[in-house]
Homo-oligomer: A and B are copies of this chain.
């Protein structure tokens, strides 16, 4: 199995609901350093998993939809706790939609899985893994 990973980041504000979150129930924020991994069993005709330039551009585009915003004000997240793990799924699903829509190129239709990891600090991170 092969994989390629690209890294980017986003900076957001939000608050979390539930006693479990303690002081994170207040409006605060995070830099998420985001790793997006693309997996497939066999390389394409160019001997790659995916065009790494395109993968970086698509990840950047997905993060630009989220970054420099207060997620508490976004309709897409109404009634949802935007925990690190939940946001990892949001990013992975949006990348998957773009793969399916052809934004990663035709060869990328051979991709079989995506893993997205959001690092919220030097001591904590969360991941979501899904098939394509």
Instruction: Enumerate chain A interface residues (CB-CB to B < 8 A).
Output: 1-9, 11-14, 18, 20-24, 26-33, 43, 46-49, 51-53, 56, 67-70, 80-81, 83-86, 88-89, 105, 120-130
Contacts and interface: CB of A to CB of B under 8 A. Distances in A.
A11 to B, nearest CB: 5
Given A28-B12, A69-B28, A120-B31, A47 B129 contact: no
Contacts of A3: 85, 126-127, 129
How many of these chains are in the complex?
A: 6
Given A83-B48, A126-B4, A13 B121 contact: no
B81 A129 contact: no
A111 to B, nearest CB: 13
Nearest to A49: B85
